[in-house]
Amino acid sequence: MKLLDGCKLIYLPPYSPDLNPIEHVWANLKCFIRTNDNRQDNLSLAIEQSITQLLMC
């Protein structure tokens, strides 16, 4: 790979969803919505309740 003059190549660490806290939040949110009433009209309420539940942990 040819680098431009004055540019430094920086490698990023590999992606690891297990170490990313937001991935756990999304997993918990999906699980909560799946196990509760998941009709469209109750979706916003389910999201709100799951966020409240996460904040209490």
Domain spans in the chain, listed from the N-terminal domain onward: 20-56
Give the separation between CA 38 and CA 25, rounded to whole angstroms: 18
The one-digit pLDDT tens for each residue of the chain (57 residues) are: 566 777 887 887 787 877 788 888 788 778 877 887 666 667 787 778 777 877 876
Give the separation between CA 20 and CA 25, rounded to whole angstroms: 9
Q: Specify the pTM.
A: 0.48
Q: Please give the pLDDT value at position 1.
A: 55
Q: Please give the pLDDT value at position 38.
A: 60
